[in-house]
Homo-oligomer: A and B are copies of this chain.
Amino acid sequence: MTQHPQNAGESRLQRGQRALAEIDGEAGAKVIAALADIAPDFATYIIEFPFGDIYNRPGLDLRAREIATIAALTALGNAAPQLKVHIEAGLHVGLTREEITEVIMQMAVYAGFPAALNGLFAAKEVYSHLTDGNTAG
Contact = CB atoms under 8 A, between A and B. Distances in A.
A49 B59 contact: no
Instruction: Decide if the interface of chain A is mainly helix, strand, loop or mixed.
Output: helix
Copies of this protein in the assembly total 6
Contact of A72 (B31, B49, B65, B71): B71
Contact of A39 (B79, B109, B120): B120
Interface of A: 31, 34-35, 37-39, 41-42, 45-46, 49-50, 53-54, 57, 59-60, 64-65, 67-79, 81-82, 98-99, 101-118, 120-121, 123-124, 127
Closest 9 CB pairs of A and B: A79-B114, A68-B71, A60-B102, A72-B75, A77-B78, A82-B114, A50-B109, A38-B124, A71-B71
